[in-house]
Amino acid sequence: MIDVELVCGYLGAGKTTWLAHRLRHGGDLVRATVIVNDFAAVGVDIGAFDHGAGDRIAVSGGCVCCDKREELAQLLRAEVDRHHRTGERRESHHVIIEASGVTQPGPILELLQNDPILRASVRRLQVTALVDGIEGAAALRHRLEVRAAVRAADRVIVSRADLSDVQRLAEVAGLVRGLAPEAPIATSALGRERPWTLDVAPEPISDEEADAPVYSSWTVSLAPGTRWSELALWLHAVTRAHPDEMVRVKGIVQTDLAVVAVNTMGRIVDVRSAEPGEGPVGVLTSVLRNLAPEVVARSFAHFVPSSGVPGATESASS
Amino acid sequence: MCGQCRGLSRVPDWYVHVLGEGLRDRHLARFALAETATRALEGMRVSVVSPPGSVEYSVRDTTGRSIAATSVDEIIDAAERLAGRRFDPLAAEQWDVPL
């Protein structure tokens, strides 16, 4: 038997930070298998899960709720089979799925219910949804995919509580209560959880407010020595002009100055020195909302000529 | 003290994270950013300079008006205010500017 935990949440909601902290500090999870789903063609998050003795499996280039659903099914069946053959039948094996930021949980739950092997072998299923404690209220009001994750959740984690304030956290908690009245809420700061103790009234949301976005990804390989000034200017300019469309850019880049880890979320551009082994160097991945990858590729090639682009670029859409 | 800029040039925080406190590198980073920004924003008819000894960038239009900036965001903001229009790197008209 296996226990499956599905971790959902919009792009930048803090899934990787929260899960990495749990794997580092959760004794019972030391042998858990972690399946990391990245919508972009190259998974850059898997390097964050280097703690523990369990397998780390990347599923990249699409969502586990749609075009990568069969791959997820095969991986889960293989986990069942492997656990069965190793003779550890009395213990349940823990499998954690970190879904991509645009995954809809519904089709995954259907898969677990309808697949005969998985239906008979999944002893416990838990859905955990993460919601950003700073921008989460707007995301819940305007994005159907964010609501879907919360509606399906058995528990909800409101992240980045240390960077938010009580008023914003309460607004998020009220919206969560309206969508998932029974789900316990906790806050987290750098992955550390605390139970939500304040009393908040459920706040209803109408689905009519939300749009139906088209997501796509764009991945680019950058030449070593890409000029940091060109890349920084492009990142700031494009996220400034299109914060809702250029929803995420991630990657580790060997610039002319240093090897840096880049992470943008909406208008926020976060850059720091990369840790050794943190992920593939020279690959930048992005998730786009209602934005054509060709337009982004052409702009990047123009404004970051030192990157050597146009080179190999890959895209996916849902 | 940096021999080229003759001052404790300030760079945006993200450069400091990457470069540490090396003044020569910080000077070069400032200069590189000003040069790159000038090329990228040419279509907005502005130029960006990093005056020696200054803690700020200066964004200037062709009439001589200038606005001080200390970060990439502020450089773009200043360029937009001077040009009276938005800088959108995804807009096709920006690509016609030769780099």
Q: Which residues of A touch B86 (CB under 8 A)?
A: 241
Give which of A100, A127, A35 is closest to A73, Cα–Cα: A35
Task: Give the number of other Cβ atoms within 10 Å of residue A237's Cβ.
Answer: 25
The pLDDT tens digits for A232-282 are 899 999 999 998 899 889 889 998 877 888 888 778 887 777 877 777 899
CA distance B12 to A294: 31
Mutate to test the interface with A, among B11, B14, B39 (most CBs of A within 10 A): B14
Examine the pLDDT at A42 and tell me if it is beyond 70: no
Burial class of residue A301, CB neighbours in 10 A (0-12, 13-18, 19+): middle
Asked whether the predicted pLDDT for residue B6 surpasses 80, the reply is: no
Is residue A192 predicted with pLDDT exceeding 70?
Answer: yes
Tokens describing residue A253: 């880049």
User: In chain B, which among 40-79 make CB contacts under 8 A with chain A?
Assistant: 40, 72-73, 76
B48: left (phi over 0), alpha (psi -120 to 50) or beta: beta
The Cα A158–Cα A37 span in angstroms is 21
The model's confidence at residue A43, banded by pLDDT at 50, 70 and 90, is low
Q: Is B76–A234 a contact, with Cβ atoms under 8 angstroms apart?
A: no
Residue of chain A with shortest Cα separation from B73? A236
pLDDT the model gives residue A55: 83
A12-21, A301-310, B49-58, B77-86: least confident range: B49-58
How far does Cα A96 stand from its chain's mean position? Answer: 13
* Mean pLDDT of the region B11-39: 62
pLDDT of B18 higher than 50 = no
Query: pLDDT tens across A174-184, in order?
Result: 999 999 999 99
Contacts with A174 (C-beta within 8 Å, 6 or more apart), sequence order: A200, A201, A202, A203
Q: Is the pLDDT of residue A296 over 90?
A: yes
- The mean pLDDT value for A7-22 works out to 90
Span A69-75, mean pLDDT? 94
Nearest of A259, A245, A242, A250 to residue A220 by alpha carbon: A250
**Is A315 in contact with A40 (CB distance < 8 Å)?**
no
For chain A, the average pLDDT equals: 85
| Residues in chain B closer than 8 A to A260 (CB atoms) | 18
State the average pLDDT over residues B14-30.
51
How far is the C-alpha of A206 from the C-alpha of A141, rounded, in Å?
8
Alpha-carbon distance of A178 to A155, in angstroms, equals 14
User: What pTM does this model have?
Assistant: 0.67
Q: How does residue B55 score in pLDDT terms, banded at 50, 70 and 90?
A: low
pLDDT at A311: 42
pLDDT at residue A142, rounded to an integer: 83
Chain position carrying tokens 């299109």: A242
pLDDT higher than threshold 60 for residue B4: no
CB contact under 8 A, A241 and B87: yes
Query: Mean pLDDT over all residues of chain B?
Result: 74
pLDDT, one tens digit per residue, over B87-99 is 999 987 666 555 4
Higher pLDDT, B50 or B76: B76
Instruction: Name which residue leads in pLDDT, A315 or A295.
Output: A295
Mean pLDDT, residues A148-169: 93
Measure Cα distances from A235 to A240, B1, B72 in Å: 8, 31, 10
Q: How many CB pairs under 8 A join A and B?
A: 76
